[in-house]
Structure 1
Amino acid sequence: MIQFPSRFRRWLLPALLCLGLAACEAPTRFSATDITGTDYGPALRLPDSHGKARSMADFKGKVVAVFFGYTQCPDACPTSLALMADVTRQLGADAARLQTLFVSVDPQRDTPEMLSQYVAVFNPDFIALRGDAEQVKAVAKTFGVFYEKRGDIASGRYTVDHTAGIYLFDPQGRTRLFVRYGEAPDKLLSDIRLLMAGK
Structure 2
Amino acid sequence: MLPARLQLALIALTLCAVAAVAGVLLAQRTHLENTSSLQLTNGWAGAQRPDHQPVPAFTLRDQDGKTVTSASLRGKPVVFAFIYSTCRDTCPAQVQTIRGALDDFPGSADKVRVIGISVDPANDTPKRAQSFLLKQQMTGRMQFLLGSRAQLKPVWDAFAIQPQSKALEHSAHTVLADADGVQRVGFPFDHLTGEGLVHDLERLAP
Shorter-chain TM band = 0.7 to 0.9
Deviations 1:107-146 (A, max 9, x none): 2221111102212333122100001121112211221111
Count of matched residue pairs? 163
Q: Within 2, Cα distance between the matches of 1:120 and 1:148?
A: 22
Q: RMSD between aligned alpha carbons? A: 2.0
Q: Does 1:118 align with 2:127?
A: no
Q: Which has the higher helix share?
A: 2
Give 1:77 deviation, angstroms: 0.5
Q: Which has the higher strand share?
A: 1
Q: Within 2, Cα distance between the matches of 1:79 and 1:52?
A: 26
Give 1:38 deviation, angstroms: 4.1
Q: Within 2, Cα distance between the matches of 1:112 and 1:58?
A: 21
Contact 1:67 1:101 in 2 (8 A): yes
Q: Within 2, Cα distance between the matches of 1:85 and 1:189?
A: 11
When normalised by structure 1's length, the TM-score is: 0.74
Match of 1:173 in 2: 181
Question: Please, which runs of 5 or more residues in structure 2 have no aligned partner?
Answer: 1-40
Q: Structure 2 residue aligned with 1:132, among 148, 159, 164?
A: 148
The residue identity in structure 2 corresponding to 1:100 is: V
The secondary structure found in structure 1 opposite 2:176 is strand
Q: Within 2, Cα distance between the matches of 1:43 and 1:93?
A: 28
Match of 2:89 in 1: 75
Give 1:189 deviation, angstroms: 0.6
Pick closer, same or farther for the CA change 1:177–1:109 going to 2, 3 Å. Answer: same
Q: Does 1:189 align with 2:191?
A: no
When normalised by structure 2's length, the TM-score is: 0.72
Q: Within 1, Cα distance between the matches of 2:169 and 2:54?
A: 21
Q: Within 2, Cα distance between the matches of 1:148 and 1:119?
A: 19
Match of 2:15 in 1: none
Match of 1:103 in 2: 117
Instruction: Among all aligned residue pairs of Structure 1 and Structure 2, give the percentage whose two residues are the same amino acid.
Output: 24
Q: Within 2, Cα distance between the matches of 1:189 and 1:117?
A: 26
Contact 1:101 1:129 in 2 (8 A): yes
